[in-house]
Structure 1
Amino acid sequence: MVGLPGLPDISGAVERVVATAQNGLEVLRFGGFDTGTEPAPFTVVETEKMFRLRRYFPDTPGDGPQIVLVPPMMVSANVYDVTEHNGAVSILHRNGITPWVIDFGSPDSEEGGMERTLADHVVAVSRAIDLIIEGTGRDVHLGGYSQGGMFAYQTAAYRRSKGIASLVTFGSPVDVLAALPLGLPADLVVPGAELLADKVFSRLWVPGWMARTGFQLADPVKTARSRIDFLRRLHDRDALLPREDQRRFIEVEGWVAWSGPAVAELLRQFVVHNRMMSGGFVIHGDLVSLTEITCPVLAFVGEADDIGQPLAVRGILRAAPSASVFESRVPVGHFGLVVGSTAGAHTWPTTAEWVLWRDGTGEKPPLVEEMHETQDPHGSGVSLSSRITHGLGSVADAGAGVSRELIGMANSLQRTSRAIAQESVRTVPRLLRLGQIQTGTRISLGKLMSENSKRTPDKELFLFENRVLTHAQVNTRIDNVVAGLIQCDIRPGVHIGVMMDTRPSALVVVAALSRLGAVAVMLAPDGDVAEMMRLGNCSVVVTDPNHLDIATKHSDRVLVLGGGDSRAITSADGASVVDMEQIDPDAVRIPSWYRRDPGLAGDLAFILFNRARGKLAPWPVTNHRFAISAFGAASAAGLTDRDTVYCLPPLHHASGLLTTLGATVVGRSRIALSARIDAETFAAEVQRYGVTVVSYTWTMLRDVIRSEDFRINQYNPIRLFMGSGMPSGLWAEVVEGFPRARVLEFFATADGSAILANVSGDKIGSMGQALPETNPVEVAAYDVTADRLIVDDSGFVRRTGVDEVGLLLARARHRFDASSTVLRDVFVPRDRWEVTGNLFKRDANGELWFQGSVAGVIRTSTGPIYAPPIEFALSQVRGVDQVVAYGVGDPGRQVAVAAVTTRQLGERSESLTITALRIGLGGLPAEQRPHLIWVADEIGVSDSYRPIAATLARRGLPRPGARVWYRDAAGRYRRYTRTAAAEANWVGPSPTHTESSEVGG
C-alpha cells in the first residue's frame, strides 16, 4: 500500500497566526510587551530649571567612588537604565560605585525649554558636579554618551578639570569634521550646517519623533532589518522579550525634543567651526578650550560606529594634550556602546574597573589601553570589515559601505579643486566689490562694521582676556562712543590723535571716528609724539589710562576711554582731561548734521607715519586705500567667519590697522586681542581663543618662537601667519614649528600705490606679487648712483631683467589715491605710473624681492650696497638672533655695517664663527657683502618690533675686537684688528662701540 504524503500541521499554523495577532494587538495598544522589568530605584536630590539630579540606589550608603552620567540632548536620561540588570547604573552599583544621572527632561515640556542653549547644558552639568561634591566630599567621575560625552568634555574644560576625577565618554566625537556620520564630506556638510544654524534652528525646534527618525536614518538598513526581524518573530513572545526593553527605548520611549538654539549652537560651534578641536568656544561669555582638560580620559570607541566615528572620537588625543587619554574598543555600533548585551558585558564592567583603578582601589582594566594617533588621518576609522562583521553585512549595506569609502577616496582626490572653488566663492565677491569702488563710493571701516552687525549681530567679534563681545555689542559700543565724541565737540573731518594699546576700546575708538567721519591720526607712544601731532594736524588726543601721562604732555585736550592699569583719571596741569566713560550716551543730543558712516572712498580716513630719508613723514590713508588693503588681505588670507585672527600688532602700524583690523572686518572673522606677547600667553590664548590666523609685525614672534619656555600643542588650530617684515631666519623657524601653517607676508608702499603679497608662502623672504584688483606693478631699470631711470633705444624706460635691481612703479589708476610722484609715458605712450621709492628685483618666476628704499641704499666708494639682502642672509646663520645692516659715514664713502646679536643658550650666548658667516653670505656677490660684521649686546626694537638701526649708525664704526670681522679684498671675513682698521682707513664717526664679552671664533 502506497503511503499518503504528510499533511501540513494546521493546528500549529493556526496557533502561530493567533499568537501573532495577540502579540501584535498588545504592541499596538501599549507600544510593546510588558516585560515585567522594574527600573533601578532613584531619588531626585535636586531640581533646578535646567535639570533634575538623580541619585540611584538611594538606600545604600554610597561611600565609594561617585560617577555622574550625562545623556545627549535628544535622548532620555533613562538610557543608562534601559535593562534591569544589564543597565549602566545597575552594573556600576554592583561594583561599589554610586551612580548619578542628570535628567534634562524634554524641552518641549519644561518651562523655558525651547530657549535652552548648548551653554546652558554645560553650565547645568557643572552645577550638578558642585552639588555632588558638596554632598559627598569627593571628586566625581564624569561620563557621557554621544553628545552627553561632548558635554562632559566641555564641562571639564569649562571647570579646568576642577573636582573631576576622570572623564569617561561613549562614542563622543571631538574632531567632528574629521569623520562625519555616513562618511559625508565636510566640504558639503559645513555650508549646509551653517545655513541650518542661521536660518532654520534659530527659529524652529526638533521634536522627539524627528530626533528618533534622524537617528534611524543614520543606519536605515539596520533599522529596516530590525523591524523585519521583529515582525517575523512576533508570534514568539519569549524570543522577543530579552530585547524588548531595548527595542521600545529605541523605537518609542527614548527620544526627547531639542531646543532650536541648542541645535543651532551645536551646528555652529562644533560642526561649522569644529571648536572642540580648535578651541575658542564660548560658554556663557567664557572662552573655553579642551586643552585645559588635565584629568584622565577614557573614550569608548565603537568599531562599527557610523555616528561617533573612531577618527572623530580619537580627536580627544589631539585636543587635550595635557590629559592622559585611554581608549576601549567595542565591536558595536553607536547605540550598542551603552545599551544591550555587549554594553552589559564590556562597556559598563570596564567603566567600573576604570573608576576603581583611578580611585586607587583596583587594577588597570584589561580592555583599556593608551590611545595612540590614528594611522589613517583621512578615513573614518570604521573599516568595511567592521561594518560587515558587526551586523552590517548584507549586500546592500556592504555596497553602501563601499560607496562611502569610494566617496572618501573621491573627496581626497578632489580636495585641491574643491579648495580652489571655495576660495573663488569667498574671494570673487570681495574683489568685485573692490573693483567697483569709485571716488564717491561710500565705504569706510565704520560702514563695514555696520554691515556685519546687521548680517550677524549675535556672532562673536572681539575676544579679550576671556571676555567675548558680539557684533551687536561692539556696534552699540561704537555708537555710544560716537555720542561721546559729539558731546566733546568732535565733528566730521577733524583730525583726532589716537594713542591706545591694542584693546577692544582702541578698535572701537577708531571705528567710531570712522563712523563720525573724523580722521584718526594714529600716534606711536614711543615715537616723536609732538612731531606726529604737528604733521597730522591734530590737537585733541583720545587715549587710554595707560598713556594718559604721555598724552597730556603733548596735548592740552585729552579724551580718555577704556580700561587699563588704572581708572583714576585726573586732569594734568594745563590740560583738559575728559573721562568719556562718564558720559551717558542716552543723554547726548545728536545734532542734525550727524550722518552715520558718511565716509567716501576719496575721503581721508587715517594718518599713519613712516620715515623717509631719515625724517618722520605722514602716511595719509583714504577710505579707498583702507579698502584695498582690507579686501586684498582678506582675499589673500582666505579669511571667513570660521577664522579667529590673533591681532598682535599695534594699531598705529599698517599691519595692525589695515592688514589685521581691516581684513578681519571684511572676512567677518573673530578678532582675538592680547594684553602681552610672550611664549606662555601665546600658547594659552591660541588654544583658548581657537586662533586660526596670527598677525604680526617684524620680529614680534621672536620672543615666542625662540623662548625656552615655548610649548604649544602640535595640533593647534593655526593655519596662517600674516603680516610684514618678518626676518627670513625667523620665518623659517615659524614654518618649521608650525608645519601645518604658512606665512603670508605683505608689502605696502607708504603711499598705498602698491600692495604685494607672498600668497603661496613657498619662497621665504619673497614679497610675492601685486594683489588682485590692486595697482599692477613693474620694476623699472634704475641707476641708483645717478638716481635716474634707465631709458632704452626706443626712448621708453626699460624693464629690468631677472635678478636685476630696479625701481618699483605702480600703475596710477585712481587719481584720488595718487599722493606720490606720477610719471607718464613710461613704458608705452600715455601710461601713468606712480614712483614708490622702493627697489626690488624680480626672479624667474615673477616673484618680487625687496632690496630696500632708494633712501636706504648704502652708498659706498665702490658702488651701492643693499641692506635687506644682507639681513636676509645673516638672519639664517646658525646662532644669529637679530640683525640689522646700515651705512656709516657720508654718502658716496659709506661703510656697510651689519650688527647681529646671538641667541642665548641658557646662561651663555651661542658662538658665531667666521665659517658660519662665510657660508651665510655665500649667496651674495662679494661686493654686496657688508664691510664689517659685529656682535652687539642688544639691538633695540620699536613698539612694532622693528629692529632699530639708526641708533647703532649714530654710534659710528665698531671698535676692533674679537667680536668684529671685516671683509678683505677677496670677499672673505677676518678678525677686525687695530692693524686691519688702520689699513682700511675707513672714514666715519668716531667709534664708540665696546664689547662686554668674547665670542668664540
Structure 2
Amino acid sequence: MGWYPEILNGSVRRVVATAQNGLEVMRLGGLETEAQPSEFRVVEREPMYRLRRYFADETADLARPPIVLVPPMMMSADVYDVTQEQGAVGVLHRMGLDPWVVDFGSPATEAGGWDRTLADHILAIDDIIDRVHAHTGRDVHLAGYSQGGMFCYQAAAYRQCRNIASLITFGAPVDTLAALPFGIPGDIAAPAADFLADHVFTRLSIAGWMARTGFQLLDPVKTAKSRLDFLRQLHDREALLPREQQRRFLATEGWVAWSGPAVAELLKQFVVHNRMMSGGFVIGDRMVTLAELTCPILAFVGEVDDIGQPVAVRGIRKAAPKAEIFESTLRAGHFGLVVGSHAASHTWPTTGEWVRWRDGLGPRPASVEEMSCVEQPADETGVSVSDRILHTGASIAEVGVGIARGVLDVTAQTVRGTRELSAEAARALPRLARLGQIQMQTTISMGRLLAEAGAKSPNAECFLFDDRAHTNAAVNTRIDNVVRGLIVSGIRPAARVGVLMETRPSALTAIAALSRLGAVAALLPPTEELAEAVRLSGVGTVICDPDNLAAAESLGIRVLVLGGGESRLLNTEPDSGTIDLEQIEPSEVRLPAWYQPNPGRANELAFILFGRSGGRMEAKRVTNYRWALSAFGTATAANLGRGDTVYSIAPLYHSSVLLATLGGAIAGGARIALSRGLDPERFEAEVHRYGVTVVAYTWTMMRELVDNPDFGLAGAHSIRLFVGSGMPVGLWQRTMKRFAPAQVLEFYASTEGAVVLANVSGAKPGSKGRPLPGSTPVRIAAFDPIAGTYLEDEHGLVRECGPGEVGLLLGQATSTESLNGAQRGVFAAGDAWVPTEHLFRRDGDGDYWMMDDRVTVVRAARGPVFNQPIVDALGRLDQVDVSLAYSVPIGTEELSAVAVRLLPGASLTAVDLADAFAELGSGQRPDLVHVRADIPISNSYRLRRTEIRTAGLPKPGPRSWYYDAETDKYRRLTRAMVTELTARGSAALTG
C-alpha cells in the first residue's frame, strides 16, 4: 500500500497547481507567459488610425518589400502579433519583408469614434497606402483578414490599384449572399440585415464584449470545447503556455467596439445588396466596383471556415475578372487562418513567399494555385458537414448541429420559392393599393414621390452620374433651391415650361423642380423640329443648359439657364433677358404665400412629351395620374426594390425614360443611374461601377451592344432585366443570349390614357403581354383600318373582337382622364373608353400582340396588310438584324414592302422568306422584300420609314424579291417587274 502516498501527493500537487493557475487567471485574465510583443514605432497618427511600422530600426533598407496588414473592424491590430514567434509580423520580418500594421483603435476611446462610417475606414487605407509608398518609395502589398480583407478589396478598387503591388486576403468574403455564416439563407438574412441597418445600428453601436460574445455564439460548440480543454489542463502550466497568448487574445483582449454607422453601411451595401459582387458600392460619393481591380490577388481559403466560407471567398474570381487571382487553401477555421500553429506554418510563410515572388525575389509558392471559377449549387457553401466534424474531433454535439443544419438547408430550399413570392407581393401590394386610392383630386406627382423618399431614407442614394452618387437628401435640397429660382423668375403653378437639356443631374433636377412647383414640363427634343415642338406645347419659357443655350435663345422666348458645372461661360446675347438660375441665392428668396410644394393633382397636366405619327410631330399630354400609373406599374412588373440600380442610356426627353425608367425607379425605391449616352466601352464600365441590375432600352438600342464584335462585358454581370418598349423579336432573342441569364420586360403604354401592357414572363418574344394590375381594363374594338371606323353589332354598339381578330385597342376611361376626350356609348350605353393609336389582336392565352399603327396600315387592293407581323416573322430568322415594313404607293393603292438589314456575313434567300412567312396568310405577306446595307434610325433608336418610303419601289437585283401569289413563292425582282408595277400605278392614276 506504499503507493497511496505517491498517488495522494500527485493529486494534491494537481489540485494546488490548478488552484494557483486558476487564481492567476482570475486575477490577471490569464497565465503570465513573459512573452513580449514585437517592437514597433507609430509612424503616422491620424484621428482615424495609427500606422505601426514593425522593427522600424531594422527596416530602413529599401530592399525590403513593404506589406500593410489591415485588421477587421472588430479586432485589435494585435491580431497580427499575438506571439512574436508565430505571429504575422515576426514571421514576415524574418522572411525579409517590411511589415506595417493599421491600428484603427477602438471607437469607444477615439474622439468621434462612434460616428465612424465604412467609408472612413476605406479612405483611411487609401491615405495609408500613399504614406507607406512615400516612406519606402515602393509599391505596397496590401493584406487584410476577414472584414479587413474586404476593406483591402474596396480600397484597392477605390484607387484603381495605384501603388498596390498585390492584394492578399485571409478568409475575406466577397459573394456574401452566396454563403452566409453557417448556411443562413440569403433571402432571410438580407431582410433581417436591412432592418438592422435601418432601425438598430442607426441608434446602437457594438461594444467590444458584444462583438466577442457574438462571434463565440456563432460556434457555441467550439467555444465550449475550447473552454473545457483549458479547464482540463489548468493544472499543467507548461502545456497551456504555448497557446495562452492566443487564448487570451480570442477570449478577451482581441476585441474592439464597432461604430453603429459603419456596421449599418456594411450590412446595407455588402449583405443586403451584395455590392462586392454586383458593383456600385459607394465610398464617399464615388461609385466603386471590384471589376476595376487589376493587381494580382492571393486569397487564403479556410476549408472549414464557417464565417468566411469558401464559396463567399472565391466570389472574387467573378467580381474581379481583369485581375490575376490565386488561392491558397488550408484546413483551418476562420481564426485559425491568422492565429495559431496553422497560420505560423502555412499562412504567413506562404504570404512571405508570395510577396517575394511578386517582387521578383523568389519562386512562386508551392501552396499557391490559380483560382478557378467553379460553379457550385446554390445550397453548397464549400464547407462540408464531414469537414466540420473532422475539424472539431467528431464531437457528438457538433454532429447533431451539422445534421440540424442539413435539415434546415432542405427546408430552406423547399420554402424559398414561397418566400420569394411573398417578398414580391410585399413590395407590389402597397404600390397597387396606392394606385387604387388615387382619385381626381389626389395629390400625386414626381416631386411628391421624391420628397417622400427623402423623408423616409435621406441618406440612401437617389441617382448616380459620372461615377458620383447623389443622396435623396442632397437631391431634394437641390430641387428646392431650383424651385426658389423658378419662383423668382416668375414661374407659377400650371405654367408650361420647356426643358431643353442634355442628360445630366441638372436636367433631372429641372424636371423635378417644375413638378414640385406644380408647373408643366415640356421635354423638348434637341432636333431640327425644336421650334415646332415649342409651338405644339405652347411653352413661354425654356430651361436649358449651357450646351443648348444658343438653340434656346433662337426660339425668341424667355430662357433660364441651369447647371453645366462650376466653371462655365454663358455666351448670351446682350439684352437677351436670359436668366442664370445658378446666380440666384436660394436663401435670399422669400417664398410667396401661394407656394405649396408638390400641389399636383392626379387629373392635372404634368408633362408634355413628343412623338411622331404618320410622319408628323405630335405633342402627347401626360397627367400626374398617367405618370404615376406607369411609375408604379413599372416598379411592380419589374419587381424593383432598394437593391436595384436602373440604368438609363436613352435621353431624358424620350417618353419611356420619363414614364418607365425614372418613374419606376422612383416608385420602387431603386437607384437611378444616368449615362451620357450609349457607348459600348462606357456601358461596360458603368454597368460594373454602378452595379446595374436593370437596363432601360428603347426600340433598337441594344443593337449597338449585342451586334458589336468589339463589345464584351468582362466577367459576371449584375444585370437581371432589360426594360423598355419596341425591341424587335430577333434583337430580343440575341439580347437574352448575350446577357444570359437576364430577361427582357417589354412594355406597351399609351402616352395619353391609362393603358399599360407588359410581357412580364418574357415567354413570348414580340408579345406586349397583358394589362398590369392597377392599370385600366382594355378591350379590342372591331375596326375597319381602311375606312377608319368602328364595326357595330345589331344593337348599334361597337363589337368587341374575338381571339385572333385585329381591332383597335381601347382603355376604359378613369376618373382622372377628363383631359383626354373619352368616347362614350362604345360597348354599352353610358360607358367611356379612350382609344389608342394602335391595332392589336389577343391570342388564345389572353396575351396582346400589336399589329400596326392605325395610320401606317398598308391599304392594299386585297385589303389591309399589317406591318408588325411581317417584321416579327423576319426577326425570327437568325441572319436578320432588323427589318422595317412600310407601304409603297402604286396609283390609288399601296403595296406592302419590307426592307431588311442582315447581320454581318449573312445571306437571305427566297426559301428563307418562304419559311419566315409560312405562318402568315397569303394576304398578309409582303409584296416586296429587299435587303439594304442600312436602315435610317432616329435619335431614340426607332427605325424611320419616311426616307425609305419616299424612295419608292426597291431597286431590282439579286437581293430584292416580289411575292408571286399564283405560285405562292418569292421570286427575284427584275427590272421588267419594276417597270410593270410603275406602269400599273401610272395607269391607275390616269384612269
Interval of TM-score (by shorter of Structure 1 and Structure 2) = over 0.9
Residues 603 and 816 in structure 2, CA contact (< 8 A), matched pair in contact too: no
> In 2, distance between residues paired with 1:770 and 1:940?
32
For residue 405 of structure 1, report the CA deviation from its aligned partner. 2.7
Specify the alignment match of 1:52 in structure 2.
Answer: 50
Tell me, in whole angstroms, the C-alpha distance in 2 between the residues paired with 1:949 and 1:411.
54
Give the distance between the partners of 1:605 and 1:801, measured in 2 at CA: 36
Asked if the contact 2:549–2:561 (Cα under 8 Å) also holds between the matched residues in 1, the reply is yes
- What is the alpha-carbon distance in structure 1 between the residues aligned to residue 817 and residue 84 of structure 2? 80
The residue aligned with 1:484 is 485
> Any idea what SS the aligned residue of 1:107 has?
coil
**1:973 counterpart residue number:** 970
Q: CA deviation at 1:586?
A: 1.5
Query: What is the DSSP-based 3-state SS (H/G/I as helix, E as strand, rest coil) of the residue aligned with 1:973?
Result: strand
Cα deviations by residue, 1:940-972 (Å, 9 ceiling, x for unpaired): 222211111122212222222333222222342
**2:940 aligned with 1:944:** yes
Whichever residue aligns with residue 917 of structure 1, its letter is L
CA distance in 2, matches of 1:752, 1:17: 89
Q: Secondary structure at the match of 1:881?
A: strand
1:300 alignment partner in structure 2:
300
Alignment identity in percent? Answer: 53
C-alpha separation between the residues in 2 aligned to 1:938 and 1:631? 38
CA distance in 2, matches of 1:915, 1:572: 63
Partner of 1:168: 168
Instruction: Show the counterpart of 1:766.
Output: 767
Greater mean deviation of Cα atoms: 481-490 or 938-947? 938-947
Deviations 1:541-565 (A, max 9, x none): 1111222222222232111111179
Name the CA shift for 1:888/1:685 in 2 (closer, same or farther; >3 Å).
same
Q: Distance in 2 between matches of 1:864 and 1:242?
A: 92
CA deviation after TM superposition for structure 1 residue 350, in Å: 1.3
Map of 1:995 onto structure 2: none
The answer to whether the 8 A contact 2:73-2:148 is kept is yes
Name the SS for the 1:874 alignment partner: helix
- The whole-number CA distance in structure 2 between the counterparts of 1:892 and 1:922 is 29
Q: Corresponding residue for 1:344?
A: 344
Match of 1:529 in 2: 530
Matching residue within 921, 925, 941 for 1:929: 925
Asked if 2 retains the 8 angstrom alpha-carbon contact of 1:888 and 1:988, the reply is no
CA deviation map 1:133-164 (0-9, x unaligned): 11212111111000000011001101111111
C-alpha distance after superposition, 1:456-499 (max 9, x if no partner): 11111121111221101110110111111111111111111111
Indicate the SS of the match to 1:924: coil
Are 2:605 and 1:601 aligned?
Answer: no
Report the counterpart of residue 95 of structure 2 in structure 1: 95
The 3 A distance-change label for structure 1 pair 564 and 930 is farther
- Distance in 2, Cα, partners of 1:226 & 1:510: 63
Summarize the alignment of residues 679-690 of structure 1 with structure 2, pairs less than 5 Å apart.
Answer: 679-690=680-691
| Contact 1:858/1:891, CA 8 A, preserved across alignment | no
**Quick one: which amino acid aligns to residue 75 of structure 1?**
M
1:725 equivalent in alignment to 2:726: yes
Equivalent residues in 2 for 1:866-905, closer than 5 Å: 866-889=866-889, 893-904=893-904
Find the aligned partners of 2:374 and 2:614 in 1 and give their Cα distance: 57
Cα distance in 2 for partners of 1:73, 1:749 equals 53
Amino acid at match of 2:601: L
Range 503-512 or range 808-817, more displaced: 808-817
Determine the structure 2 residue equivalent to 1:994. Answer: none
Aligned counterpart, 2:913: 917
Distance 2:564 2:929 in 1: 45
Deviations 1:633-681 (A, max 9, x none): 1111111111111022222222110101111111111111111211110
Judge conservation of contact 1:610–1:750 (CA < 8 Å) in 2: no
In structure 1, the partner of 2:385 is 384
Q: SS of the counterpart of 1:962? A: coil
Deviations 1:55-99 (A, max 9, x none): 112232442222111000110111011122111111111211111
**2:753 counterpart residue number:** 752
1:879 touches 1:903 (CA, 8 Å); kept in 2? Answer: yes
Q: What residue number does 1:20 align with?
A: 18
Of 814-823 and 85-94, more deviation after overlay is shown by 814-823
* 1:927, distance to aligned residue in structure 2 (A): 2.5
In the alignment, is the contact (CA less than 8 A) between 1:82 and 1:249 conserved in 2?
A: yes
Q: Quick one: distance in 1 between partners of 2:466 and 2:93?
A: 43
- 1:587-634 alpha-carbon deviations (Å, 9 max, x no partner): 222211111111111111111123344433221111111111111111
Among 11, 14, 28, the alignment partner of 1:30 is: 28
SS in 2 for 1:54: strand
Q: How far apart are residue 528 of structure 1 and its match?
A: 1.9
> 2:802 is matched with which residue?
801
Name the CA distance, whole Å, in 1 between partners of 2:549 and 2:931.
38
Assess, with a 3 A threshold, how the Cα gap between structure 1 residues 245 and 596 changes in structure 2: closer, same or farther.
same
Q: Is the 1:116–1:259 Cα contact (8 Å) retained in structure 2?
A: yes
Matched, 1:157 2:153: no
Query: Quick check: 1:820–1:835 contact (8 Å CA) kept in 2?
Result: no
Q: What's 1:475 paired with? A: 476
* Alignment match, 1:541: 542
1:223 aligns with 2:184: no
Query: How much is the aligned-residue C-alpha RMSD, in angstroms?
Result: 2.1
- Matched position secondary structure for 1:554: coil
**Residue equivalent to 2:137:** 137
- Give 3-state SS (helix, strand or coil) of 1:886's partner: strand
Over 3 Å counting, the alpha-carbon distance change for 1:943 and 1:964 in structure 2 is: same
- Secondary structure of 1:414's counterpart equals helix
Contact 1:956 1:988 in 2 (8 A): no
Q: Structure 2-normalised TM-score?
A: 0.96
- Aligned residues, how many? 983
Where does residue 122 of structure 2 map in the other structure?
Answer: 122
Give 1:836 deviation, angstroms: 1.9
Q: 1:975 to 1:592 in 2, by over 3 A?
A: same
Distance 2:930 2:506 in 1: 43
CA distance in structure 1 between the aligned counterparts of 2:657 and 2:102, rounded to whole angstroms: 47
Maintained 8 Å contact 2:753/2:834: no
**5+ residue gaps in structure 1?**
991-1001
Is the 8 Å Cα contact of residues 542 and 560 (structure 1) preserved in structure 2?
yes
Measure how far apart 1:778 and its partner are: 1.8
Give CA-to-partner distance per residue, 1:856-880, whole Å, 9 cap, x none.
2111111111111122222343343
Tell me the distance in 1 between the aligned counterparts of 2:531 and 2:736. 40
* TM-score, scaled relative to structure 1: 0.95
Which amino acid counterpart does residue 269 of structure 2 have in structure 1? Q
1:541, 1:666 → 2: CA distance?
27
In structure 1, distance between residues paired with 2:773 and 2:950? 41
- Which shifted more, 920-929 or 577-586? 920-929
Answer whether contact 1:95 1:352 (CA < 8 A) is retained.
yes
Structure 1 position 40, deviation (Å): 1.5
Q: What is the match of residue 196 of structure 2?
A: 196
Query: Does the 8 Å CA contact 2:625/2:816 hold for their aligned counterparts?
Result: no
Tell me how far apart the structure 1 counterparts of residues 822 and 852 of structure 2 sit (CA, whole Å): 18
Amino acid at match of 1:208: G
CA distance in structure 1 between the partners assigned to 2:648 and 2:563 by the alignment: 18
Post-superposition Cα deviations, 1:824-867, rounded to whole Å, max 9, x if no partner, equal: 251x5554332223211112211111101211211111111111
* Residues 455 and 294 of structure 1: CA distance in aligned 2, closer, same or farther (over 3 Å): same
Deviation at 1:975, TM superposition (A): 2.1
Do the aligned residues in 1 keep the contact of 2:753 with 2:817 (CA within 8 Å)?
no
Partner of 2:658: 657
Indicate how the Cα distance of structure 1 residues 699 and 960 shifts in structure 2: closer, same or farther if over 3 A, else same: same
Q: Corresponding residue for 2:411?
A: 410
Structure 1: how far apart are the matches of 2:510 and 2:393?
A: 61
**733-742 or 893-902, which deviates more:** 893-902
How big is the shift at 1:914?
3.4
Q: In the TM superposition, what whole-angstrom CA distance separates every residue of 1:162-216 from its partner, at most 9, and x where no partner exists?
A: 1111111000000011111121111111122112111221222111111111111
Q: Shift of the alpha carbon at 1:820?
A: 4.1
User: Which piece of structure 1 moves more, 935-944 or 208-217?
Assistant: 935-944
Residue 862 (structure 1) aligned with residue 892 (structure 2): no
Report the CA distance between 1:524 and its aligned residue.
1.1
| C-alpha separation in 1, matches of 2:972 and 2:342 | 77
State the 1:298 CA deviation.
0.9
Aligned partners of 1:528, 1:566: CA distance in 2, in Å? 30
Q: Would the aligned equivalents of 2:117 and 2:262 in 1 still touch at CA under 8 Å?
A: yes
Alpha-carbon separation, structure 2, partners of 1:987 and 1:369: 76
